[in-house]
Chain A
């Protein structure tokens, strides 16, 4: 069994494997497929509860992943933000000298979540400018103005 604590390096390796077989397009196609098949819980929560559903989803997953983060849900302003001070996934890949992360590893968080949230009427923005070097990023999700 690959332990769930060993998944992230296997995930990164999968991106590298897919890239080697079909280029970046093959990696993005996988992310899209995974988003459709695997993120039903986020889709349901966001559809039923709006930004509060996003808060519920990420408060569960990020605590289980032992992330270092601050998330703010502002219902009045219609905005939910995550400031990821230390991403547990990229952090793990950077810490282990034996591992060589997939160069575009952090982009999966853009493709997977955007694909769920935009069709539900949210704006999704992720700042990955420091992601791959420092395991830091920020996410802002807003209700789209009609």
Chain B
């Protein structure tokens, strides 16, 4: 290791190379990088495709309901406590982090999220990964489930595969 050359990388990670032994070492701490692995969209898209093929669309829906119920408990708590601004913050963070093109506004008591370029679909298409037009059902069902858990409703209008949609959120006692 004496001959190893330590090359600083981004953040605190280090890459060490030893030209004689061809040893390469990459040592990283979690704080060295932002957690953003967009290929996970591909794995999720494949999962939807797989469930549709093997178990049918109802099973896919049942699975997504479970995801909405079990994985978004903190968001549901915030939505119950704070109302639509909690969802507004959630979407702002998600779409900003992933580089989506979107805008949000209120129509009366309804929060409207207009997605002009879905970052997930953009990544799938850019990287040539499998895409199923059923992928957007993740948005439809998970949104509906999160909102229902908190006493709200949701809708999502999309053209399959276009990467654009209009999502609406409102309290159940109010009309859309």
Contacts and interface: CB of A to CB of B under 8 A. Distances in A.
Contacts of A11: 40, 43-44, 47
Closest 6 CB pairs of A and B: A7-B40, A75-B22, A66-B35, A64-B37, A9-B71, A73-B24
Interface in A47-105: 55, 59, 61-76, 86, 88, 98-100
Interface residues of A, number: 44
A97 to B, nearest CB: 9
Q: Output the residue of A1, A8, A17 with the most chain B CB within 10 A.
A: A1
A109 interface: no
A37 B39 CA distance: 13
User: Which secondary structure dominates where chain B touches chain A?
Assistant: helix
B50 A3 contact: no
Given A9-B67, A71-B27, A72-B25, 12 more contacts: A3-B97, A10-B47, A13-B67, A13-B71, A17-B63, A34-B47, A62-B28, A66-B31, A66-B35, A67-B30, A69-B28, A73-B23
Contact of B62 (A17, A59, A73): A17
B44 A72 contact: no
6 contacts: A38-B46, A55-B24, A59-B26, A64-B36, A71-B27, A98-B73
B80 to A, nearest CB: 14
Contact of B46 (A34, A55, A69, A86): A34
A7 B44 contact: yes
B98 interface: yes
Contacts, number: 141
B70 A71 contact: no
Interface of A: 1-11, 13-14, 16-17, 21, 30, 33-34, 37-38, 55, 59, 61-76, 86, 88, 98-100
B125 interface: no
A65 B24 contact: no
